[in-house]
Amino acid sequence: MTEIKVAVGGIEKTDFYINGGKMSEAVVTEDRIKEVLKGRPVLVTGADGFVGSHLTEKLIELGANVHVFVRATSSGMLHNLAHVREKIVVHRGDLTDKQAVTVALRVLKSQGGAPVIFHLVRKPMSVNRGIVL
């Protein structure tokens, strides 16, 4: 059996080849994901949204060092993440504010390991909606 590793964004993907033929799919187990994410700094934008909150919960479960970036204008309640508030690092700011983003990224980089970023922010509803006559 031959093992081939490919690193994309600091995360390795491993494919196994037997007798010159590739096994059905790359072998990526939850244990392998835990190994890759354990203690690794991860930033989630849009973390208090539906998808972001579920991703954040899973990343915590997998042992990642989870940071979230939320709008400074938000109430700060973290409605979907209140139950994990003590397990995450919260950065407040606006993604259009270069200084706020730079500060968050510096903190993330200082945590050791190659950081992973999940960018899940969308425009506020008021911006997305138009008036249809």
| pLDDT at 8 (0 to 100) | 45
Taking the C-alpha atoms of residue 117 and residue 105, their distance in angstroms, rounded to an integer, is: 10
Q: Look at residue 77 and tell me whether its pLDDT is greater than 50.
A: yes
CATH class for the domain made up of 38-128: alpha beta
Neighbours of 58 (CB within 10 A): 14
27 vs 128, more confident: 27
Q: Look at residue 68 and tell me whether its pLDDT is greater than 70.
A: yes
Break the chain into its structural domains and give their ranges: 1-29, 38-128
Answer left, alpha or beta for residue 81, where phi above 0 means left and psi between -120 and 50 means alpha: alpha
pLDDT tier at 54, thresholds 50, 70, 90: very high
Of 21-25, 53-57, 110-114, least confident by mean pLDDT is 21-25
| pLDDT at 74 (0 to 100) | 57
pLDDT tier at 124, thresholds 50, 70, 90: low
128: Cβ contacts below 8 Å, ≥ 6 apart: 122
Taking the C-alpha atoms of residue 97 and residue 71, their distance in angstroms, rounded to an integer, is: 10
74: Cβ contacts below 8 Å, ≥ 6 apart: 48, 92
Is the pTM of the predicted complex or chain greater than 0.85?
A: no
